[in-house]
């Protein structure tokens, strides 16, 4: 396992999609960084340029419905409910990303024979 900074994530994503069985485990705040990094490989699957036998993407994101230690208010280091509300909006983007991955599971978007099993999971019912 290797933890790559977002700037250097793309080469690792490309390497993962070169495999027959693609597995990506991601931990982050919103999933936005991962979404940008996998957009091109997902487009390549849609047009048939790459054809993994399986695609598994697991995302570990914070539960924004509960108070958070980080990020927090700078003045008193307490939870910021307004920030958590904005974070829920970012989570919506992650949910739409996972929905796009699930579409691939059904062989939709003109994929000959589909892509095999696709797994996309999220926490807290929002994904």
127 in a structural domain: no
71 in a structural domain: yes
126 in a structural domain: no
Give me the domain span that covers residue 107.
6-121
109 in a structural domain: yes
35 in a structural domain: yes
Secondary structure of the chain in the HEC alphabet? CCCCCHHHHHHHHHHHHCCCEEEEEEECCCCHHHHHHHHHHHHHHHCCCCCCCEEEEEEECCCCCCCCCCCCCCCCCCCCHHHHHHHHHHHHHHHHHHHHHHHHHCCCCCCCCCCCCEEEECCCCCC
pTM tops 0.85: no
83 in a structural domain: yes
Q: What is the tally of structural domains in the chain?
A: 1
Q: What is the pLDDT of residues 78-127, one digit of tens each?
A: 999 888 888 777 766 666 767 766 666 555 343 444 445 555 555 554 44
């Amino acid at each position: 396992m290797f933890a790559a900074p977002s700037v250097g994530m793309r080469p690792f994503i490309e390497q993962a999609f070169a495999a027959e069985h693609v597995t990506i485990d991601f931990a982050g705040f919103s999933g936005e960084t991962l979404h940008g990094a996998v957009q091109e490989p997902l487009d390549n699957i849609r047009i048939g340029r790459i054809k993994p036998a399986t695609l598994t993407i697991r995302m570990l994101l914070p539960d924004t419905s509960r108070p958070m230690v980080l990020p927090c208010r700078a003045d008193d280091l307490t939870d910021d409910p307004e920030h958590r509300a904005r974070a829920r909006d970012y989570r919506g983007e992650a949910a739409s990303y996972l929905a796009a991955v699930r579409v691939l599971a059904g062989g939709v978007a003109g994929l000959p024979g589909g892509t095999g099993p696709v797994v996309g999971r999220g926490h807290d019912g929002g994904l």
